[in-house]
Amino acid sequence: MDGVKRTRLSPEERRAQLIGLGVRMLADRPLEQISVEDIADQAGVSAGLLFHYFASKHDFHLAIVRYTSAEMLAHTAPNPDLEPLEIVRDAMASYVDYVSENRGTYLPLLRGTTSSDPDMREVCEETRAEMVRRVVEHLPSLGIEPTARTELSVRGWIAFVEEATISWLRRPQISRDDLIDLQVSALTAVTLGVEAAAVLPG
């Protein structure tokens, strides 16, 4: 445990520091067990000061979940320099690696252990909605028309990707590359429909 110096931080820096400590703690224990006092201790501030930045323990927990979701979205942002299908493959690889590397923090959110709380659920829903939006926007470049049916398929596909990734982490019976390949193929398969999918490369 490295001692944290009592340095003067700007409000933004202090807020970020507290969230960062919370995220790190989330790797060891469930969200409900993250104590505001422990975080304040580690930051070298009083619990009172923490409550200056976050109205309640619930607000602090929510900020941790928001940060983690935003981080995942940042890591999986599409790279416009790649070919259309490679953009999907690249984003999937980033997703699988992000979830693997952050299984302590991101997996509990995915598995919905926080989902009895409506605010937490909203963050998860917004995160999924953003993933759906990205994919739907990308469909035309793959030659797929975004219809009500394809949009529903994309929603389903996001759930497919989450579940396949979770199951794979639990029992990795195929290689990482095969998992990514499975997920990319599944997108083209479910959105293009069975016949059309056969004509798409790889």
**Residues making contact with a copy of itself (CB under 8 A):** 111-117, 121, 148-149, 151-153, 155-164, 167-168, 173-174, 178-179, 182-183, 185-186, 188-190, 193-195, 197-198, 200
CB 75 within 8 A of CB 45: no
Q: How far apart are CA 53 and CA 15, in angstroms?
A: 6
Q: Of the candidates 49, 200, 70, 55, which has an alpha carbon nearest to the alpha carbon of residue 139?
A: 200
Whichever of 50 and 161 has its CB closer to a copy of itself, that residue is: 161
Q: How far apart are CA 27 and CA 104, in angstroms?
A: 4
Q: How far apart are CA 72 and CA 156, in angstroms?
A: 19
Least separation in angstroms between residue 163's CB and a copy of itself is 4
Whichever of 50 and 65 has its CB closer to a copy of itself, that residue is: 65
Whichever of 13 and 126 has its CB closer to a copy of itself, that residue is: 126
Least separation in angstroms between residue 162's CB and a copy of itself is 7
Least separation in angstroms between residue 46's CB and a copy of itself is 30
Inter-CA distances, 163 with 20, 103, 112, 167, Å:
27, 13, 12, 6
Whichever of 42 and 127 has its CB closer to a copy of itself, that residue is: 127
Least separation in angstroms between residue 94's CB and a copy of itself is 18
Whichever of 78 and 156 has its CB closer to a copy of itself, that residue is: 156
φ/ψ of residue 116, rounded to 5: -75, -10
Least separation in angstroms between residue 175's CB and a copy of itself is 10
86 contact partners, CB below 8 Å, separation of at least 6: none
CB 76 within 8 A of CB 180: no
